[in-house]
Structure 1
Amino acid sequence: MKLLLAGIVLILIIMWKPMPSGAGDMWRAYSDMREANWKNSDKYFHARGNSDAASRGAGGRWAAEVISNAREWVQERTGHGAEDSAADQKANEHGRNGGDPNDYRLLGLPEKY
């Protein structure tokens, strides 16, 4: 039992450090999306935020998944279409799984982003 508890604590310690940074990556992508105000570019920012967060390790990946799932859950409950939510989740997973966010980048989106 002590070994199991020690293992759980070790996993939490390893995951904890990148969690806030992963959440910051998600916030930065969201802020950039709002600032860019570029029509139909949200999938790129979803993929980028998830990719940046997941690159920090297990904690960042966990933070990205929780934030993405919560956001899509809220959007579905507030009247946004399930089809758009499914497309957002596809972009989220693409980024979290190491896919290139630029696969979703629209032509003309400023290089700043």
Structure 2
Amino acid sequence: MRLWVCIALLSVVLCVSADRPRIFQGMVRAGQFVRDAAGGARDMYRAYKDMREANYKGADKYFHARGNYDAARRGPGGAWAAKVISDIREGWQSSVSGRGAEDTRQDQEANEWGRRGGDPNRYRPKGLPSKY
């Protein structure tokens, strides 16, 4: 009886330790997602800050695409953060800016273009300082 209990206990321990790498890998992936999301939020903020600083007519779509592009390059967490921030910003902006649904649609197109890895320079207006 004692031997049987020891064998059963050893089997449980081996099964648990065999699953540990999967559990650990899941935790590592979750941590990376959170780091990517935080970095993506910083990328989005930097693009917003640059847009405000540049104050350049017609550059809005470029900064939308660039922020999403930079964030999404970090990985799934960065892309998620970019989408959430873009959707919230466009939802809020469309209700207060008075620019209309077409402007919101174009902004979202630029957001998605950047998130999919499209070159933000597609939206870059002529004359925008090279600093940006």
| TM-score, length basis structure 2 | 0.76
The CA distance in 2 between the partners of 1:100 and 1:72, in whole Å, is 21
Structure 1 stretches of at least 4 aligned residues deviating more than 4 Å after TM superposition = 6-11
Structure number with greater Rg is: 2
**Alignment partner of 1:15: what SS?**
helix
Q: Residues 55-97 of structure 1, C-alpha deviation per residue, up to 9 Å, x if partnerless?
A: 0001000000000000000012224411100000000000000
Find the partner of 1:57 among 75, 90, 105: 75
How far did 1:12 drift?
Answer: 2.9
Match of 1:43 among 43, 57, 61: 61
Alignment of 1:12-23 (within 5 A): 12-23=30-41
Matches within 5 A, 1:51-90: 51-78=69-96, 79-90=98-109
Structure 2: gaps spanning 5 or more residues? 1-18
**Aligned length, in residue pairs:** 109
Residue 10 of structure 1: CA displacement?
A: 5.7
* Letter matched to residue 30 of structure 2: L
- Post-superposition shift, 1:13? 2.6
3-state DSSP class of the match of 1:17? helix
Inter-partner Cα distance in structure 2 for 1:56 and 1:98: 11
Whether 1:106 aligns to 2:122 is no
Overall identity of the aligned pairs, in %: 58
* Residue identity matched to 1:22: G
User: Structure 1: 5+ residue runs without aligned partners?
Assistant: none
Higher relative helix content? 2
Greater mean alpha carbon deviation, residues 59-68 or residues 9-18: 9-18
- Structure of higher RCO (CA pairs closer than 8 Å, 6+ residues apart): 1
- 1:44, distance to aligned residue in structure 2 (A): 0.2
Give SS of 2:118's match. coil
